Structure 1
């Protein structure tokens, strides 16, 4: 199972973890409310930033951005 790291504020971490735990092994790290949040994935033993977002961003938009970027980055990492 693919590992991802969610770095976000507490209420957002819980929501993202619930949605993404089905497909990924999720780790979390909390930041302050005003901090920049991000989701990283462990691709080929390197942590790669998949997306960055504001703590006030809409959950649906974050998940869409993550899905698109994850697909692009995972496909590009398959080829040298």
Structure 2
């Protein structure tokens, strides 16, 4: 039983280290990118942020706009 508990603890520690390494890599990658001009529209800002979140999330998020978002914000 103690061996199983130690194994579970070790597996959790490895998972946490993997997550931390991914966050560090994402931060380093972001720091290496040249500064981009800020989008002028709300739609552009949302798309930029969701696109950047893909590296952290591990999958590309999707966004759907309905109507004239830029005219309403």
Q: Normalized against structure 2, the TM-score is what? A: 0.27
> Does 1 or 2 have the higher relative contact order (CA < 8 Å, sep 6+)?
1
**Structure showing the higher strand proportion among its residues:** 1
Q: Answer with 1 or 2: which has the greater Rg.
A: 2
**Structure showing the higher helix proportion among its residues:** 2
Q: Normalized against structure 1, the TM-score is what? A: 0.26
